[in-house]
Structure 1
């Protein structure tokens, strides 16, 4: 089983949080709702995992039940948030490639409905199949506890698969239109300037789809082998207040379950790294980085000149006195 040190994961998850929010400023100015939603959810997921890995580094005690309730909702949202944000980006690229006329307000409403509405709806619906309030795993922290019943699949497991297939459909249609109409697309206003950025976004979305659809299909296939029939609401939530507290030696002893935990927690950092590699290193990003460092350099020069002026005003009377007295103080 892939078992890196927990300190390495904490450092990587915090790095994932930082690199997720770096390009947020100029994408917010450009009103790229899909990219902003992707950065928001990716940063939240990495920060959530970072806090859990630090607080429960060498313990599985129930230190903060309220935080675990919040962390559970974020984990549920993370199940669909990144792929729903990718759907927003691929749908927007499809609109650009197909010359679709759209209202910015209407497009923003649709993107928010997909990128925020679906994760929030998933948070609400998952409570139906949530067997316990939460579980705590040493090194991992708070984790979700679901029953393996038939409603669990449409309410939780099927969301990433369905969204990934829909997003993949938009991605394939976009690539088809770009390849067959690239010459005509060059005449669209501002398209040539943004073509490289659109390609990078499409690469990011396709990578998310390629990773999401097979993993979701595999998890559904494996869990279907242990499915049990639905009895009643009271049966599912009979032990809802109980909290399982598992040390690392216990959950790591189960190869499949331990691998699932590691894949789920490391996937957020990999998504942040992939996002920064595709979106945060483009020409537009490099221009913003250069402008940022130039502004910092200008401010540092101003601070240096101010400090030099203050030093001269403070020490000049003393220097004049020493020169007048021949360098000897009385």
Structure 2
């Protein structure tokens, strides 16, 4: 059994969920749709590799009907989602629309939903035209969609995908062109457009769309070549193509040539690799770091881990500098003897913040002064001040306006 197949598929499915929270808060329909399509596709790949590990039993027929159609839709979904994303990025960079109203946001959301989900559903329906039988089962890989290899299959299955890919690259190029023309005012325009995008997020989305489209072009061309390299079959009629439609073809490992098996193995890993590429573009940004910190803080609270203390200073090292209003000084001069009532500050002054430095790591208390500028030193404060090498100098008599 190839244990790496289900393990890799399930890990890829979990990785695409990592950027989900901040894309959900941004209500970014294209990226949320990419996450949904990649997650479900990898889950189906993992389940297939478990059910049909080392066997070609014809089981779970309804599951295969759903899974094979979903595979057809997924090949169109990723280019369609990236196309919507690049259209939005090009609109922002072109400065054709400074601010977006609520109605415009709703229209854009409907357009994104129709492209990201409606277009793949249409491709599923068109696949039925060239579906020669129900589905195929390949040992270790599970059920695969069946296609009657003909000119009609090329026009209905692969050419639309390539058209969407080309349109995506065109809009991505236009967005980059507009950016380099207005690169000096681009950040200000993002602020004026009331958009949640920043310059770094903009380039991450743009880079992700371009890389995914180059990768999708490569996969589509390879898949079309592998399917059509043995020649095309003639399209005679609808009845001829769909005759014996309920047939299920099974392909054991021993009957598959080594080269064909290697390509099948490679095609399986294209979806997990696509999920890993998507994850790599959003897993190390500022949004991701904030989410990681929030998750760590939640886990720390659950397991009751103590918070890291500040080694430099704390609020306990602060002492009051000025007395509370209403306290009267009893000293007549700087060297007047202290009375018993003036040996310490009143407790009511304990919530004043100290501003005079007492050492390199804490703040001390400056002696209060009366309205005439005379300081009210007590014996305890004088003793502590004399013991410090960096004690503050005595205030002059003409500084009664510093308070």
TM-score by length of 1: 0.85
SS of structure 1 residue aligned to 2:183: helix
Maintained 8 Å contact 1:134/1:145: yes
SS of structure 2 residue aligned to 1:97: helix
1:209 pairs, out of 210, 213, 224, with 213
Q: Which has the higher helix share?
A: 1
- 1:226 positional shift: 0.8
Are 1:289 and 2:285 an aligned pair? no
Aligned mates of 1:108, 1:94 — CA distance in 2 = 16
- 1:221 positional shift: 5.2
- 1:224 positional shift: 6.7
Gaps of 5+ in 2: 306-403
SS of structure 2 residue aligned to 1:188: helix
SS of structure 1 residue aligned to 2:12: helix
- 1:169 positional shift: 0.4
Aligned mates of 1:84, 1:233 — CA distance in 2 = 29
Equivalenced residue count is 296
- Matched residue, 2:152: 151
| RMSD, aligned α-carbons | 1.9
- 1:232 positional shift: 0.7
SS of structure 2 residue aligned to 1:182: coil
- Matched residue, 2:379: none
Q: Who wins on radius of gyration, i.e. which is larger?
A: 2
Aligned mates of 1:59, 1:220 — CA distance in 2 = 27
Aligned mates of 1:225, 1:135 — CA distance in 2 = 18
2:66 pairs, out of 70, 91, 100, with 70
- Matched residue, 1:235: 240
Between stretches 222-231 and 181-190, larger displacement belongs to 222-231
- Mapping 1:183-222, distance limit 5 Å: 183-190=184-191, 194-220=198-224
Evaluate the alpha carbon distance shift between residue 56 and residue 194 of structure 1 in structure 2; reply closer, same or farther with a 3 A threshold.
same
- Matched residue, 2:162: 161
Aligned mates of 1:192, 1:237 — CA distance in 2 = 50
- Matched residue, 2:11: 15
SS of structure 2 residue aligned to 1:245: strand
Higher relative contact order, chain-length normalized (CA < 8 Å, sep 6+): 1
Aligned mates of 2:230, 2:184 — CA distance in 1 = 51
Aligned mates of 1:57, 1:217 — CA distance in 2 = 28
SS of structure 2 residue aligned to 1:63: coil
Evaluate the alpha carbon distance shift between residue 171 and residue 15 of structure 1 in structure 2; reply closer, same or farther with a 3 A threshold.
same
Evaluate the alpha carbon distance shift between residue 32 and residue 193 of structure 1 in structure 2; reply closer, same or farther with a 3 A threshold.
closer
SS of structure 2 residue aligned to 1:135: strand
Between stretches 88-97 and 165-174, larger displacement belongs to 88-97
- 1:228 positional shift: 2.2
Aligned mates of 1:157, 1:237 — CA distance in 2 = 20
Aligned mates of 1:181, 1:258 — CA distance in 2 = 50
Gaps of 5+ in 1: 303-330
